[in-house]
Structure 1
Amino acid sequence: MNAAHNYFQRLSRYYLWYTACFIAFLLALGLLEREGMPRLWIGYLFMFATIVLYATIGVITRTSNVSEYYVAGRRVPALFNGMATAADWISAASFISLTGSLYLRGFDGLAYIMGWTGGYCLVALLIAPYLRKFAQYTVPDFLAARYGGGAGSRGGPVRVIAVGATIIISFTYVVAQIYAVGLIASRFTGVDFSVGIFLGLASILVCSFLGGMRAITWTQVAQYIIILVAFLIPTMWLSTKHAGNPVPQIAYGSVLPKLAQREAQLVHDPREQDVRDRFLQRAADYQRRLAGLPASWAAGKREVQRKLDAARLRNASLTEIRAAERELAAYPKNPEDAVRVWTELKASNLARARPPEPHATPFPGASDEASDIRRNNFLALALCLMMGTAALPHILMRSYTTPSVNETRVSVFWTLFFILLIYLTIPALAVLAKYDIYTFLVGSDYHHLPSWISYWANVDRVNPLINVTDINGDGIVQLAEIAIDGDVLVLATPEIGGLPYVVSGLVAAGGLAAALSTADGLLLAISNALSHDIYYKIVDPGASTQKRVTISKLLLLAVAFIAAYAASQKPADILSLVGAAFSLAASTLFPPLVAGVFWKRANHVGAVSGMVVGFVVCLFYMLHTNPSLGGSLAAAWWNIAPISAGVFGVPAGFAAIVIGSLLTAPPHRSSAGLVDYIRAPEQAADSQAPTPQ
């Protein structure tokens, strides 16, 4: 006990010194900015300093010991494990995208806050303490032992399917994190998006490659401190600016009525209505083109080609000729392509033609039916996120790193506390940023736009993250003329609020820390599943500890580069990718994990059936209803959105477990005994725990 206390005290001193040095670094950069240091250099310094910091921790904590590499030696104190898990949990979706979702969707965006927070309650109550009591290395380890004949069992199909699920879920999630790394790096260093991805990847690999869970844990504690400071400073500034109160969780209640009043003004503003009418006209034009196919496609192509030829004949300016060339290059390649492009453009114009919805009104709709559909999707998404949280492999792995079962329970409390420090701030930031934009940007002179708009518009010129176009030509910015990507809002908040650029660099460092911390955990979950559960448990059970760790490191490298390539293709927005991962985790792993702990009759056949059926139902629904995957929203069951596919996959998985288990022989006595062990009183947990294999 005394040794553990001394270890805790030593760690506390290290991180207090680290926090003090980090604050001194911020103050120094602030002074350098006042003295005229270029913004680009500030961005470089933040990127360089944070990557060097994480790399230094990775080098110091490097290890080839199996227990240290997989579970940080099972000696991480509850407080620090809580901070590390919170950093693992607060991904790019939470730090970057969640505020943007609340900004764009209003009340509906709270489904993410409720689902992810409630999910951690499920982790604490249903899963984490029992996994720590089991004392192995991975989630497939637990499922293989529970459904395949006790601790040390190879587990056969259960282990293989669980590994497959871990890889698919974690890979989908990690692509979103690496995408965010590229977004941040390209904005704050000026490098190409794809180059930014691989710069961030280098930082990820140093920690996870050299030290596994040991290095990742201590890096994530440092990253959480950066995340917290980066998120709170601009939010507190906006809170003070608009409410005179530096506590945003309290202040934004006084800003909401002001925002509602401003929203009402914009709905009835004649100039806003004029812009919305123009978008309606554009949507109607695309509808006419769709109705006139294929003749409309051919006529349109001739017209675009004629404009280019005319510009060249009259020796028009190079800018005009290039614009005509881009228009021709962007024109649909054939009538089938025109159907897809014009349908998307029609939907986009119809969306921008709608007046702003009240931010604080729950489930607004043109009819009771429309309102009910939004409410049902809100509940379905919250449920999927809750159950997906309780089944994410990289989060559940952290329950193995604490010294005891009791420490695991305390660690979950600290995790919830550290997560809530951010999650209770996110709705406040969405309201404060929205009020700032609605009040100061809307109604401003179009020819004197803030510089941050052009910065962010140039990050991705193909699909601009923000676009302000004078649709009606009056020289005044209308709300309907602003198109903003939710992923840009948090990163641009300091500039929106008029803060020094050093705070923008700080927020970028926070977003980078959030993406890197989660990516580290996800990549380690994938490589450990392949090296420990496939290579060691199935292919070569006699492999030495050194060989097992080496195999894990090589697999980690391979998976990291594949994920980076996938992210460079910009497959979807961050929140959509993350939502898909949660539905897949909920459908595939949540039913066998819960049944494995609480129902002794669940057996091998039931577990295999549950995982396969849950995964197939969830994936089928996503493919069947997601337009970007070739499906159609018209095919949705009860109008449930594709992101909430888990609401069908989870019941199907549980039903398959029950039916498969009841129709076949009861589980082996050692499997049933494992259930009795992990649910027994805790006092004997550590002394009687199964020996790790």
Structure 2
Amino acid sequence: MSVQIWTYLLVGITFAVYIGIAIWSRAGSTKEFYVAGGGVSPLANGMATAADWMSAASFISMAGIIAFDGYDGAVYLMGWTGGYVLLALLLAPYLRKFGKFTVPDFIGDRYYSKTARSVAVFCALLVSFTYVAGQMRGVGIVFSRFLEVEINTGVLIGMIIVLFYAVLGGMKGITYTQVAQYCVLIFAFMVPAIFISIQMTGNPIPQLGFGDTVADGSGTYLLDKLDGLSVALGFDAYTDGSKTMLDVFTITLALMVGTAGLPHVIVRFFTVKRVKDARKSAGYALLLIAILYTTAPAVAVFAKTNLIESVHNKEYQELPSWFKNWEHTGLLGWIDKNGDGKVQYAKGHVVQGNKNKPVFEKEKRGQKGERIISNVNPASENELFVDRDIMVLANPEIANLPNWVIALVAAGGLAAALSTAAGLLLVISSSVSHDLIKKMIKPDISEKGELMAARISAVAAVCVAGYFGINPPGFVAAVVALAFGLAAASFFPAIVLGIFYKRMNKEGAISGMIVGIICMLLYMVKYKLGWFDDVVPSSNEWWFGISPEGFGAIAMSINFIISLVVCQFTAKPPKEVQEIVENIRIPGNAGRPTHE
């Protein structure tokens, strides 16, 4: 069977499973809608958390970043993995014992203020919408290639699917759907990795294969081979890094602390019965996440090596079918600058642009493919444009794997994107219905009315998410990294100080969150979207060499400083609030649900 038929078959089966689970586990109360009734087992919650955590950025984009950035791409591995450990050990058990449904609920009660709750709701919506934009773009990429529809059409299809089970099932439906999605995405990521590892090195374990010798009998190590290919084409050696130590540190820190402030991950720890179960599910999730995260560097090496060997200096007419298939999506392109009919892959940007004003797909037009290249940089010898987000998805095709494996990767990419999108949409809907309407606007709303408000909010959120998926501010992992920066700048200090510092008051927390989120937003829109260039001329240089993905660490530090300074000059929190802070750090009675 063809790739398209296999894709329709596998994607159809997985979608039917997701929808069937949503119907079986539909929510009948607000407690089931928000926290799945609080009765999920640690293993199931660990699998759901892993699926929620491993988004399109982890499945589709992370290995693509590592493939092109080499050593520098390791910051994403370190930041996202370390961040989950930080969340599991530092925050999850205490938040679970506090017993609130959402992060804004925690901040509103801990800081005894409707203003604090309002700021937290705004930050939760901003973080979630930024994050979900990356997921919807990932859905569009998968559909555009494997189901041969436009990216925008793919985004709309993904919106309909995720809307169905998120609105119907709430957290209960999402949880059990994510268990199935974890199985799909990890199987889809590992099967081609094992195939290619055997093919290239003879080693069936990808984590060991990419550090092994190639299977041609030359005795050359795969990484040495890739270093040689990279240097020969004018790139730096793959295993060398070019980022400054400060930028590496800030990106890693921003991703770590941003993880610990992500509302859609934190809420997963409210779905289990006991605090002890929250710790167990965090441990399970970490082990399950590690399977993909330890494999991603190997996939990156396999994909980059195969890409170079299959296209560089080859006649266009002789290129394999996968190249021309991906050209039609607008995510891969070639322009013959020297007129020799060969693809020249070298150092340099084939698309003229800069980091302040990126060139989007809709602006790319070229000689080959439907949407490829505009503003060709004549100074660059490079003739090949490759969108980083295609590397994992195209990898099985480049390696000539069976059609069913290629289709399986498509199903896995959709599972990763949809699982995270569903969790984010739930955060958005609960922030509006529970934190805004129930807690602030209409406290006497009935449970049925609140549940209806949550579902209507989810519908509105899907529409907004779809818009950002069609008009994203960058490739998937870049968008997601910005969401982590926003979470780091806003939530992390307020949560940490709320748990571990009794003296922290509402004035300090509110001031810190507002200043932190504003700093991150200003830096992000200037250096990612190119705003304010007319007012503040751009020098194309980041402050102190810190990229927008890493600035969340600086904004977080500013948040901490502002919060601590302001709280010293304002009144102490009420005595009952200080007692709550002491209580959530004491293990006693940890076996009983604290919200009952």
What is the TM-score when the length of structure 1 is the normalising length?
Answer: 0.77
**Paired AA for residue 299 in structure 2:** L
Q: Does 2:227 align with 1:357?
A: no
User: How much has 1:476 moved relative to structure 2?
Assistant: 4.3
Counterpart of 1:670 in structure 2 is 576
Quickly say closer, same or farther: Cα 1:385–1:265, change in 2 above 3 A: closer
Counterpart of 2:375 in structure 1 is none
Preserved contact between residue 601 and residue 672 of structure 1 (Cα < 8 Å): yes
Counterpart of 1:207 in structure 2 is 165
Counterpart of 1:61 in structure 2 is 25
**Paired AA for residue 221 in structure 2:** P
Q: Does 2:148 align with 1:190?
A: yes
Preserved contact between residue 33 and residue 169 of structure 2 (Cα < 8 Å): yes
Q: Distance in 2 between matches of 1:83 and 1:629?
A: 40
Structure 2 SS opposite 1:483: strand
Counterpart of 1:319 in structure 2 is none
Structure 1 SS opposite 2:333: strand
Q: Distance in 2 between matches of 1:94 and 1:654?
A: 29
1:503 to 402, 405, 423: 405
User: How much has 1:556 moved relative to structure 2?
Assistant: 0.5
Equivalent residue runs for 1:284-433 within 5 Å: 355-361=234-240, 363-364=241-242, 374-433=244-303
Quickly say closer, same or farther: Cα 1:438–1:687, change in 2 above 3 A: closer
Q: Does 2:318 align with 1:448?
A: yes
Quickly say closer, same or farther: Cα 1:658–1:566, change in 2 above 3 A: same
Quickly say closer, same or farther: Cα 1:671–1:196, change in 2 above 3 A: same
User: How much has 1:65 moved relative to structure 2?
Assistant: 1.1
| Superimposed CA distance per residue, residues 14-34 of structure 1 (whole angstroms, 9 cap, x where no aligned partner) | xxxxxxxxxxxxxxxxxxx2x
1:685 to 569, 590, 594: 590
| Superimposed CA distance per residue, residues 69-124 of structure 1 (whole angstroms, 9 cap, x where no aligned partner) | 11011111111111100000100111001011001100000100000000011101
**Paired AA for residue 382 in structure 1:** T
Counterpart of 1:102 in structure 2 is 66
Q: Does 2:111 align with 1:147?
A: yes
**Paired AA for residue 658 in structure 1:** L
Counterpart of 1:134 in structure 2 is 98
Preserved contact between residue 79 and residue 414 of structure 1 (Cα < 8 Å): yes
1:43 to 7, 12, 15: 7
Q: Does 2:507 align with 1:637?
A: no
Counterpart of 1:434 in structure 2 is 304
Counterpart of 2:555 in structure 1 is 649
Q: Distance in 2 between matches of 1:49 and 1:107?
A: 38
Counterpart of 1:222 in structure 2 is 180
Q: Unaligned 5+ residue runs, structure 1? A: 1-32, 149-154, 273-354, 365-372
| Superimposed CA distance per residue, residues 111-139 of structure 1 (whole angstroms, 9 cap, x where no aligned partner) | 00000000011101221001111112111
Q: Does 2:136 align with 1:178?
A: yes
User: How much has 1:627 moved relative to structure 2?
Assistant: 5.3
Structure 1 SS opposite 2:238: coil
Q: Does 2:506 align with 1:604?
A: yes
Preserved contact between residue 110 and residue 498 of structure 2 (Cα < 8 Å): yes
Select between 517-526 and 536-545 the one with higher mean Cα deviation. 536-545
| Superimposed CA distance per residue, residues 28-84 of structure 1 (whole angstroms, 9 cap, x where no aligned partner) | xxxxx2xxxx43322222332222221111111112212111101111111111110
User: How much has 1:396 moved relative to structure 2?
Assistant: 0.3
Q: Does 2:28 align with 1:122?
A: no
Counterpart of 1:578 in structure 2 is 480
Counterpart of 2:351 in structure 1 is none
Q: Distance in 2 between matches of 1:225 and 1:657?
A: 42
Structure 1 SS opposite 2:71: helix
Q: CA RMSD in A?
A: 1.7
**Paired AA for residue 105 in structure 1:** D
| Superimposed CA distance per residue, residues 189-215 of structure 1 (whole angstroms, 9 cap, x where no aligned partner) | 122222211111111011110110000
Quickly say closer, same or farther: Cα 1:178–1:601, change in 2 above 3 A: same
Counterpart of 2:352 in structure 1 is none
Select between 84-93 and 559-568 the one with higher mean Cα deviation. 559-568
Preserved contact between residue 624 and residue 635 of structure 1 (Cα < 8 Å): no
Preserved contact between residue 443 and residue 477 of structure 1 (Cα < 8 Å): yes
Q: Distance in 2 between matches of 1:139 and 1:570?
A: 26
Structure 1 SS opposite 2:212: helix
Preserved contact between residue 619 and residue 645 of structure 1 (Cα < 8 Å): no
Structure 1 SS opposite 2:156: helix
Q: Distance in 2 between matches of 1:601 and 1:506?
A: 53
User: How much has 1:566 moved relative to structure 2?
Assistant: 2.4
Q: Distance in 1 between matches of 2:563 and 2:26?
A: 42
Q: Unaligned 5+ residue runs, structure 2? A: 214-219, 347-382
Structure 1 SS opposite 2:100: coil
Structure 1 SS opposite 2:391: helix
Q: Distance in 2 between matches of 1:432 and 1:188?
A: 21
Quickly say closer, same or farther: Cα 1:533–1:265, change in 2 above 3 A: closer
Preserved contact between residue 4 and residue 147 of structure 2 (Cα < 8 Å): yes
Structure 2 SS opposite 1:664: coil
Quickly say closer, same or farther: Cα 1:499–1:649, change in 2 above 3 A: same
Q: Distance in 1 between matches of 2:539 and 2:425?
A: 33
Q: Does 2:28 align with 1:162?
A: no
In our comparison, the structure showing a higher alpha carbon Rg is 1
| Superimposed CA distance per residue, residues 350-396 of structure 1 (whole angstroms, 9 cap, x where no aligned partner) | xxxxx1121112x24xxxxxxxx522211111000000000000000
Preserved contact between residue 88 and residue 279 of structure 2 (Cα < 8 Å): yes
* Structure (1 or 2) with the greater helix fraction: 1
Quickly say closer, same or farther: Cα 1:627–1:394, change in 2 above 3 A: closer
1:515 to 413, 417, 422: 417
Counterpart of 2:469 in structure 1 is 567
Q: Distance in 2 between matches of 1:688 and 1:424?
A: 35
User: How much has 1:633 moved relative to structure 2?
Assistant: 5.4
User: How much has 1:140 moved relative to structure 2?
Assistant: 1.0
The share of aligned pairs that are identical, in percent, is: 40
What is the TM-score when the length of structure 2 is the normalising length?
Answer: 0.89
1:535 to 434, 437, 441: 437
Preserved contact between residue 227 and residue 239 of structure 2 (Cα < 8 Å): no
Q: Distance in 2 between matches of 1:498 and 1:688?
A: 53
**Paired AA for residue 59 in structure 2:** F
User: How much has 1:227 moved relative to structure 2?
Assistant: 0.5
Structure 2 SS opposite 1:542: coil
Q: Distance in 2 between matches of 1:569 and 1:435?
A: 31
User: How much has 1:183 moved relative to structure 2?
Assistant: 1.3
User: How much has 1:551 moved relative to structure 2?
Assistant: 0.6
Preserved contact between residue 226 and residue 238 of structure 2 (Cα < 8 Å): no
**Paired AA for residue 679 in structure 1:** R
Structure 2 SS opposite 1:467: strand
Quickly say closer, same or farther: Cα 1:630–1:41, change in 2 above 3 A: farther
